[in-house]
Amino acid sequence: MDFIFIEELRVQAWVGVYPREKAAPQTVELNLTFGVPDAAAEHDDLADTIDYAEVVARIRRELQERHFNLIETLGEFVVHLLFDEFGAPWVKIRIAKIGVMKDVRRVGVFIQRGRDGGKGPGAEGEPGEALPQ
């Protein structure tokens, strides 16, 4: 399986349970890796793959319009968006709120799923990558 990755995508999102988090959107950072059909490389045709520009536009649009209490729920929403709308067979996502706590750079969640509910390729992470402890 081939993969597309999108790193350090910053989006304004409505996420959180505290009053200060509900008063205004906050910056979240997304790092995505998702499987794409092998046919993309074989045919050199955008129609055979997942258009990452469309993925980014769709995520930006959805996160501007929705509110999530938990960053975990936001992450699951993006995973299912990639499965259901874009047909990705496998997704790994890391989402972090930036600067929401004093002396904490990021607070976030890591999700890795195969379409069938399993962890997908290399349950230990991508080749050469260890899962966070």
Q: Looking at the annotation, which residues are catalytic?
A: 97
Q: How far apart, in whole angstroms, are the C-alpha atoms of residue 3 and residue 65? A: 28
Nearest to residue 93, comparing CAs of 106, 76, 107, 105? Answer: 76
Residue whose C-alpha is closest to residue 56's, from 82, 24, 35? 82
